[in-house]
Protein backbone atom coordinates (compact mmCIF):
# COMPACT_ATOMS: atom_id res chain seq x y z
CA UNK A 1 0.00 0.00 0.00
CA UNK A 2 2.77 2.45 0.96
CA UNK A 3 4.59 1.57 -2.26
CA UNK A 4 1.53 2.42 -4.36
CA UNK A 5 0.91 5.70 -2.50
CA UNK A 6 4.51 6.77 -3.05
CA UNK A 7 4.29 6.12 -6.79
CA UNK A 8 1.00 8.02 -7.08
CA UNK A 9 2.16 11.00 -5.02
CA UNK A 10 5.84 11.37 -5.97
CA UNK A 11 6.08 9.80 -9.46
CA UNK A 12 9.08 7.77 -8.31
CA UNK A 13 9.33 3.96 -7.88
CA UNK A 14 9.22 2.96 -4.22
CA UNK A 15 11.54 0.02 -4.91
CA UNK A 16 14.34 2.28 -6.14
CA UNK A 17 13.76 4.72 -3.27
CA UNK A 18 14.08 1.86 -0.78
CA UNK A 19 17.21 0.53 -2.46
CA UNK A 20 18.90 3.93 -2.73
CA UNK A 21 17.94 5.24 0.70
CA UNK A 22 17.63 2.23 2.99
CA UNK A 23 20.10 -0.23 1.52
CA UNK A 24 22.81 2.06 0.16
CA UNK A 25 22.61 5.43 1.93
CA UNK A 26 21.91 4.00 5.38
CA UNK A 27 24.12 0.98 4.94
CA UNK A 28 27.10 2.92 3.56
CA UNK A 29 26.66 6.49 4.78
CA UNK A 30 29.34 8.75 3.29
CA UNK A 31 31.16 5.82 1.69
CA UNK A 32 32.30 7.10 -1.70
CA UNK A 33 30.49 5.58 -4.64
CA UNK A 34 27.86 3.91 -2.47
CA UNK A 35 26.02 5.96 0.16
CA UNK A 36 27.73 9.33 -0.19
CA UNK A 37 24.79 11.43 -1.48
CA UNK A 38 26.55 11.73 -4.85
CA UNK A 39 23.13 11.42 -6.54
CA UNK A 40 22.65 15.08 -5.66
CA UNK A 41 25.98 16.31 -7.07
CA UNK A 42 25.71 17.92 -10.52
CA UNK A 43 29.20 19.22 -11.38
CA UNK A 44 27.99 20.61 -14.70
CA UNK A 45 25.94 23.33 -12.94
CA UNK A 46 27.38 26.44 -11.35
CA UNK A 47 26.61 27.24 -7.72
CA UNK A 48 23.79 29.72 -8.34
CA UNK A 49 21.96 27.57 -10.87
CA UNK A 50 22.29 24.54 -8.59
CA UNK A 51 21.26 26.25 -5.35
CA UNK A 52 18.48 28.49 -6.70
CA UNK A 53 17.16 27.24 -10.06
CA UNK A 54 17.80 23.50 -10.28
CA UNK A 55 15.33 22.61 -7.48
CA UNK A 56 12.49 24.01 -9.58
CA UNK A 57 13.12 21.26 -12.13
CA UNK A 58 12.77 18.39 -9.65
CA UNK A 59 9.05 17.80 -10.46
CA UNK A 60 9.98 17.53 -14.16
CA UNK A 61 13.18 15.53 -13.74
CA UNK A 62 11.69 12.95 -11.33
CA UNK A 63 9.31 11.31 -13.86
CA UNK A 64 12.09 11.33 -16.47
CA UNK A 65 14.46 9.57 -14.08
CA UNK A 66 11.68 7.11 -13.30
CA UNK A 67 11.26 6.30 -17.01
CA UNK A 68 14.97 5.57 -17.27
CA UNK A 69 14.87 3.30 -14.19
CA UNK A 70 11.86 1.38 -15.48
CA UNK A 71 13.92 0.11 -18.42
CA UNK A 72 15.73 -2.16 -15.98
CA UNK A 73 12.72 -3.90 -14.39
CA UNK A 74 10.40 -6.60 -15.70
CA UNK A 75 7.59 -5.46 -17.97
CA UNK A 76 4.76 -6.24 -15.56
CA UNK A 77 6.30 -4.21 -12.72
CA UNK A 78 7.15 -1.35 -15.09
CA UNK A 79 3.59 -1.16 -16.42
CA UNK A 80 2.14 -1.22 -12.90
CA UNK A 81 4.47 1.56 -11.76
CA UNK A 82 3.80 3.62 -14.88
CA UNK A 83 0.05 3.22 -14.38
CA UNK A 84 0.18 4.42 -10.75
CA UNK A 85 2.40 7.38 -11.60
CA UNK A 86 0.13 8.35 -14.49
CA UNK A 87 -2.88 8.09 -12.16
CA UNK A 88 -1.25 10.47 -9.69
CA UNK A 89 -0.27 13.07 -12.27
CA UNK A 90 -3.58 12.95 -14.12
CA UNK A 91 -5.61 13.12 -10.88
CA UNK A 92 -3.75 16.25 -9.88
CA UNK A 93 -4.34 17.78 -13.31
CA UNK A 94 -8.05 16.74 -13.35
CA UNK A 95 -8.72 18.20 -9.89
CA UNK A 96 -7.19 21.53 -10.88
CA UNK A 97 -9.35 21.75 -14.02
CA UNK A 98 -12.62 20.39 -12.64
CA UNK A 99 -12.60 21.27 -8.95
CA UNK A 100 -10.24 24.21 -8.48
CA UNK A 101 -11.69 26.08 -11.47
CA UNK A 102 -8.67 26.56 -13.71
CA UNK A 103 -9.87 27.54 -17.18
CA UNK A 104 -7.04 26.31 -19.38
CA UNK A 105 -4.74 23.27 -19.47
CA UNK A 106 -1.71 25.58 -19.44
CA UNK A 107 -2.70 27.27 -16.19
CA UNK A 108 -3.44 23.89 -14.58
CA UNK A 109 -0.04 22.53 -15.63
CA UNK A 110 1.68 25.68 -14.36
CA UNK A 111 -0.07 25.28 -11.01
CA UNK A 112 1.03 21.63 -10.88
CA UNK A 113 4.64 22.68 -11.40
CA UNK A 114 4.44 25.44 -8.79
CA UNK A 115 2.77 23.33 -6.11
CA UNK A 116 5.13 20.41 -6.66
CA UNK A 117 8.09 22.82 -6.46
CA UNK A 118 7.07 24.56 -3.22
CA UNK A 119 9.44 22.54 -1.02
CA UNK A 120 11.88 21.54 -3.76
CA UNK A 121 14.58 23.95 -2.53
CA UNK A 122 14.77 22.65 1.04
CA UNK A 123 14.33 19.09 -0.27
CA UNK A 124 17.47 19.41 -2.40
CA UNK A 125 19.38 21.46 0.17
CA UNK A 126 18.68 19.13 3.09
CA UNK A 127 19.90 16.14 1.08
CA UNK A 128 23.32 17.73 0.65
CA UNK A 129 23.61 19.82 3.84
CA UNK A 130 23.46 16.83 6.17
CA UNK A 131 26.17 14.67 4.58
CA UNK A 132 28.31 16.36 1.92
CA UNK A 133 31.16 18.35 3.45
CA UNK A 134 31.48 15.91 6.34
CA UNK A 135 34.11 13.11 6.46
CA UNK A 136 33.99 10.70 3.51
CA UNK A 137 35.23 7.11 3.61
CA UNK A 138 36.59 4.59 1.12
CA UNK A 139 34.86 1.26 0.56
CA UNK A 140 37.81 -0.76 1.85
CA UNK A 141 38.56 1.41 4.89
CA UNK A 142 35.19 2.49 6.24
CA UNK A 143 35.01 2.84 10.04
CA UNK A 144 32.64 1.05 12.38
CA UNK A 145 28.97 2.00 12.14
CA UNK A 146 28.94 4.24 15.23
CA UNK A 147 31.87 6.25 13.88
CA UNK A 148 30.40 6.37 10.38
CA UNK A 149 27.09 7.80 11.61
CA UNK A 150 28.63 10.16 14.14
CA UNK A 151 31.15 11.62 11.71
CA UNK A 152 29.10 11.58 8.51
CA UNK A 153 25.66 12.85 9.57
CA UNK A 154 24.50 16.31 10.67
CA UNK A 155 21.38 17.63 12.38
CA UNK A 156 19.74 20.89 11.39
CA UNK A 157 17.81 22.89 14.03
CA UNK A 158 14.08 22.45 14.44
CA UNK A 159 12.18 24.52 11.88
CA UNK A 160 8.35 24.37 12.02
CA UNK A 161 7.73 24.29 8.26
CA UNK A 162 10.47 21.73 7.56
CA UNK A 163 9.49 19.63 10.59
CA UNK A 164 5.93 19.51 9.28
CA UNK A 165 6.92 18.78 5.68
CA UNK A 166 9.77 16.30 6.19
CA UNK A 167 9.61 15.16 9.82
CA UNK A 168 12.09 15.32 12.70
CA UNK A 169 14.09 12.33 11.46
CA UNK A 170 15.04 14.18 8.28
CA UNK A 171 15.72 17.58 9.85
CA UNK A 172 16.63 17.89 13.53
CA UNK A 173 17.10 14.19 14.39
CA UNK A 174 18.99 12.97 11.35
CA UNK A 175 21.85 11.53 13.41
CA UNK A 176 19.30 9.59 15.46
CA UNK A 177 17.51 8.48 12.29
CA UNK A 178 20.73 7.05 10.87
CA UNK A 179 21.60 5.28 14.11
CA UNK A 180 18.07 3.92 14.61
CA UNK A 181 16.36 4.02 11.19
CA UNK A 182 13.28 2.09 12.38
CA UNK A 183 12.37 4.66 15.04
CA UNK A 184 9.40 6.96 14.42
CA UNK A 185 9.81 10.73 14.21
CA UNK A 186 8.44 11.11 17.71
CA UNK A 187 10.81 8.52 19.17
CA UNK A 188 13.80 10.08 17.37
CA UNK A 189 12.95 13.33 19.11
CA UNK A 190 12.70 11.56 22.48
CA UNK A 191 16.07 9.78 22.19
CA UNK A 192 17.89 12.84 20.84
CA UNK A 193 19.24 14.03 24.27
CA UNK A 194 20.38 10.49 25.10
CA UNK A 195 22.22 10.09 21.79
CA UNK A 196 23.85 13.51 22.13
CA UNK A 197 25.03 12.76 25.67
CA UNK A 198 26.33 9.31 24.71
CA UNK A 199 28.37 10.58 21.75
CA UNK A 200 29.85 13.42 23.78
CA UNK A 201 30.79 11.00 26.58
CA UNK A 202 32.55 8.79 24.03
CA UNK A 203 34.31 11.89 22.62
CA UNK A 204 32.62 11.42 19.26
CA UNK A 205 31.23 14.33 17.23
CA UNK A 206 27.53 15.18 17.33
CA UNK A 207 27.26 17.38 14.27
CA UNK A 208 24.76 20.26 14.35
CA UNK A 209 24.56 23.42 12.28
CA UNK A 210 21.97 25.96 11.14
CA UNK A 211 20.29 25.86 7.73
CA UNK A 212 21.63 29.32 6.90
CA UNK A 213 25.19 28.43 7.93
CA UNK A 214 25.17 25.34 5.72
CA UNK A 215 23.66 27.34 2.86
CA UNK A 216 26.49 29.88 2.93
CA UNK A 217 29.06 27.11 3.35
CA UNK A 218 27.89 25.44 0.15
CA UNK A 219 27.78 28.74 -1.74
CA UNK A 220 31.32 29.66 -0.67
CA UNK A 221 32.85 26.16 -1.10
CA UNK A 222 30.70 24.88 -3.98
CA UNK A 223 33.63 23.97 -6.24
CA UNK A 224 35.29 21.96 -3.50
CA UNK A 225 32.19 20.20 -2.19
CA UNK A 226 30.02 19.72 -5.28
CA UNK A 227 32.31 19.79 -8.34
CA UNK A 228 35.59 18.22 -7.25
CA UNK A 229 35.68 14.69 -5.85
CA UNK A 230 35.54 14.90 -2.05
CA UNK A 231 38.70 13.71 -0.30
CA UNK A 232 38.71 10.49 1.69
CA UNK A 233 39.07 10.99 5.45
CA UNK A 234 41.80 8.96 7.07
CA UNK A 235 40.71 7.88 10.56
CA UNK A 236 43.84 6.49 12.16
CA UNK A 237 42.98 4.07 14.93
CA UNK A 238 39.25 3.85 14.15
CA UNK A 239 39.28 1.25 11.38
Query: pTM here?
Result: 0.88
Q: Which domain holds residue 58?
A: 2-227
Whether 28 is in a domain gets the answer yes
Helix (H) or strand (E) holding 208: strand 207-208
Whether 233 is in a domain gets the answer no
pLDDT at 18: 85
Whether 103 is in a domain gets the answer yes
CB atoms within 10 A of CB 187: 15
DSSP assignments along 83-109, one per residue? HHHHHHHHHHHHHHHHTS---SHHHHH
Whether 234 is in a domain gets the answer no
Whether 104 is in a domain gets the answer yes
Whether 127 is in a domain gets the answer yes
Domain count, the chain: 1
User: Tens of pLDDT along the chain (239 residues)?
Assistant: 556 656 667 777 778 888 888 899 999 999 988 888 888 888 899 999 999 999 999 988 888 888 888 888 888 888 888 898 899 999 999 999 999 888 899 999 999 999 989 999 999 999 999 999 999 998 888 888 999 999 999 999 998 999 999 999 999 999 999 999 999 999 999 999 999 999 999 999 999 999 999 999 999 999 999 998 777 877 655 54
Whether 101 is in a domain gets the answer yes
Whether 239 is in a domain gets the answer no
Amino acid sequence: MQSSVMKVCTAFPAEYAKYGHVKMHHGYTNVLGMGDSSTWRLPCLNRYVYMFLAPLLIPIITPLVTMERLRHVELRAALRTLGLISLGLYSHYWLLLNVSGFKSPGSALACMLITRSLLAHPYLHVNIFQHIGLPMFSQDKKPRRIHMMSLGVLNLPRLPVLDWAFGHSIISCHVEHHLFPRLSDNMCLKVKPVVSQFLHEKQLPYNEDSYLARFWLFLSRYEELMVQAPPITELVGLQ
